[in-house]
Amino acid sequence: LAVKDPTAVERANLLNMAKLSIKGLIESALSFGRTLDSDYPPLQQFFVVMEHCLKHGLKVRKSFLSYNKTIWGPLELVEKLYPEAEEIAASVRDLPGLKTPLGRARAWLRLALMQKKMADYLRCLIIQRDLLSEFYEYHALMMEEEGAVIVGLLVGLNVIDANLCVKGEDLDSQVGVIDFSMYLKSDDEIGGKERNMQIAAILDQKNYVEELNRQLNSTVSSLHARVDSLEKSNTKLIEELAIAKNNIIKLQEENHQLRSENTLILMKTQHHLEATKVDVEAELQTYKHSRQGLDEMYNEARRQLREESQLRQDMENELVVQVSMKHEIELAMKLLEKDIHEKQDALIGLRQQLDEVKAINMEMYQKLQVSEDAMKEKNEIIGRLEDKTSQINATMKQLEQRLQQAEKAQVEAEAEDEKLKQEYVNKSESLQKEFSQKEKQLLQLETDLKIEKEWRQTLEDDLQKEKETVAQLRAETQEINNLKKEFLKLQEKNKKLKRICQDQEAALQELASKLSESKLKIEDIKEANKALQGQVWLKDKEATHCKLCEKEFSLSKRKHHCRNCGEIFCNACSDNELPLPSSPKPVRVCDSCHAILIQRCSSNVP
C-alpha cells in the first residue's frame, strides 16, 4: 500500500470541514433570515474552522519566555497589501478588551465577515507566497491549492448579513473546538460505507502519528551526527591554534634579529646623510634667492594688473554714462515727435518746444566734446598698456633664461648622481637606501621646478588676459565711434523735423490769412442778403435760359439758384467758389449778391 502524506491528509480534512461549515452556514442563514448574530452556533463553528485552517502549518516563533504560534502575523500583512484593510486593523488595535494576538485575529475575522471582504483579503494574502513563507511552512494549507479553494468558497458568504458585537465579547479566552455533532447524520441514515470511511480516517491518523515519530527520530540522529562533527572540528581548531602560537614565537625572534641589523645599517647611513645635507643646504639657498626674485617680479606684475583693471573699470563706467545719455537723447526725440504731431494747431507751444530742443542739442554737443576728450585719454591708456605688455614680455624672456639655467643645473646634478651610483653599485643595501633618499630630494627639486613652470604659465595667462582687455577696450572705442555716428544721424533728423515744423507754421499762417479773407467775404454776403431780402424767386417753368450766357438749360448745363436774389445760372457761368471751414469742398457763389447757389433740377429733365 502507498503511504499517504499526513500533511496532505490534514489539508483534505480541513478543506472538507470548511466546505461543510460554509455550506451549513449559508443554508441555515437562508432559512433563518440571512441577518445573523454572534450567538448563532453555525457562525461560531465557521470561525473555529477558519481559525484551524489559518493555524495549519504555522511556523513556531521563539519569544522571550516561550514558543509563540499565532495567526495575527499573516493577517496583519493584509493591511500592507490591501489599503482598504487599514481601517479594520486600526479598529482591532484600538479595541480595549483584547490582550492577546489570537483575540485580535478573531476580531479581525469577524469584522472582515461583516464587511463582506474576507475572500478579497485572503486572496491578496495567498497571492503573495514569498511573504507567507515567513509565517507558514511549505506544506501549510495557505501555501497549497486548498487555500485557494477555501478563498473561492468564502465568496459565497457575501449573501449573508452579519451583525456582530466585537467590543464586549471575550475573544481571548474562547476555546476553538469543532463540534462535529452539527455535521453528523443520525444512526439510521449512516450505512456501512460511512463506518468504513471513519475506520479509514482513524487508520490515516495512526499512520500520520507513526510518520511523525519516524521524522522526529531521523532529526534527532542528524542532530547527534552534527554535534560529533562540531566536536571534531573544535579539536582541529585547537591544534591549529597551538601551531600558530609556535609560528608567532619564531617570527618574533626573527624580528629581533632584523631590528639589530637595521640599527647597524642606520648608523652607517647617518654618516653619509650628514655629508649630503651640506650640499642640499647650499642648493636650497640658491633656490631661495632665485625664488625671491621671481616673487618680486610676480608682485610687480600683479600690481600693474590691478592698475589696468581699475582703468578698465573707469572706462566701463564712462561707457555706461554715455549709453544712458544715448537713451535720454532717444527719449527726447520721441517726446519731440509726439509734441509736433499733437500740437500742430498751437504755434506758441511749438516755438517753446523748439527752444527746449535747441537747449538739449547744445547740451548734447557739450557732452560729445567731453566724450571725445575721454576717447583721447583712453587711447593714451591703450598706448601705456601696450608698453606694459612689452615690458612683461621682456621679463618673461628673463624668466625663461633662468629656467634654462636651472634645467642645466638639474642635468649636471643628474650626471653627478649617475656617477655616484656607478661608484657605489657594489656597496651594501644601506648605500642603496641613501641613494633612494637622494632621489627623493631630486624629486622635490623637480617638483619645485614644476611649480616655477606653473608660475610662468600663470604669468602667460595674465598676459593673455591683458591682451583680451586691450581688445575689449578697442571694441569699446569702436562702439563710441558708432555712438558718434548715431548722434550725427539724430542731429540730421532734428534738422529735418525743424524744417517740417517751419513748413507747418507757414501753412498755418496761410490758412489763417485765407480764413480771414473768407470771413470778410461772408460778411459781405450777409450785407448783400440783407439788401436783397425783398426779392422773389423765379419759377422753374419760367427760368429756361441762363441769365448770363442766355443758353438753354440741359443735362450738361444744370440750374443753380441763388438763395438771396432769386437769379438762376448754369453751372458754367457760376464759377465763383468760396471755401468754408464747415464743408470739405468749396461752395458756388452768386455773381451779383455773392450768396450761396443751390443746385436745382432742370425743367427739361425729370
Q: Residues 56-100: pLDDT tens digits?
A: 888 876 554 444 568 888 888 888 888 888 888 888 888 888 888
Q: 536-605: what CATH class? A: alpha beta
- Average pLDDT of span 289-299: 81
Q: What is the reported pLDDT for 2?
A: 45
User: Would you state the cell numbers that stand for residue 560, as one nine-digit string?
Assistant: 443753380
Q: Is the pLDDT reported for residue 596 higher than 70?
A: no
Q: What is the reported pLDDT for 335?
A: 86
Query: What's domain 6-183's superfamily in CATH?
Result: RUN domain (1.20.58.900)
**Cβ proximity of 521 and 578 under 8 Å:** yes
- For residues 348, 353, 355, 358, the Cα torsion angle rounded to the nearest 10 degrees is -150
pTM over cut 0.85: no
Q: Compute how many other C-beta atoms are within 10 angstroms of the C-beta atom of residue 245.
A: 9
Confidence label for 593 from pLDDT (cuts 50, 70 and 90): low
Average pLDDT, the chain: 79
**For 77, how many CA atoms within 13 A lie in the half-sphere containing its CB?**
17
- Average pLDDT of span 138-160: 88
Give dist(CA 181, CA 184) in Å, integer.
5
Q: What is the reported pLDDT for 203?
A: 67
Query: What are residue 161's DSSP bridge partners?
Result: 35
More confident residue, 219 or 409: 219
- Whole-number Cα distances in Å, 198 to 21, 185, 190, 207: 19, 13, 11, 14
What tens digit of pLDDT does each residue of 20-67 get? 989 888 888 877 765 777 788 888 889 899 989 888 888 876 554 444
Give dist(CA 118, CA 109) in Å, integer.
7
Q: Is the pLDDT reported for residue 558 higher than 70?
A: no
Hey, what amino acid is at 431? L
Place of cell 468504513: 196
Place of cell 448783400: 528
**For 262, how many CA atoms within 13 A lie in the half-sphere containing its CB?**
6
Q: What is the reported pLDDT for 311?
A: 86
Give dist(CA 158, CA 327) in Å, integer.
84
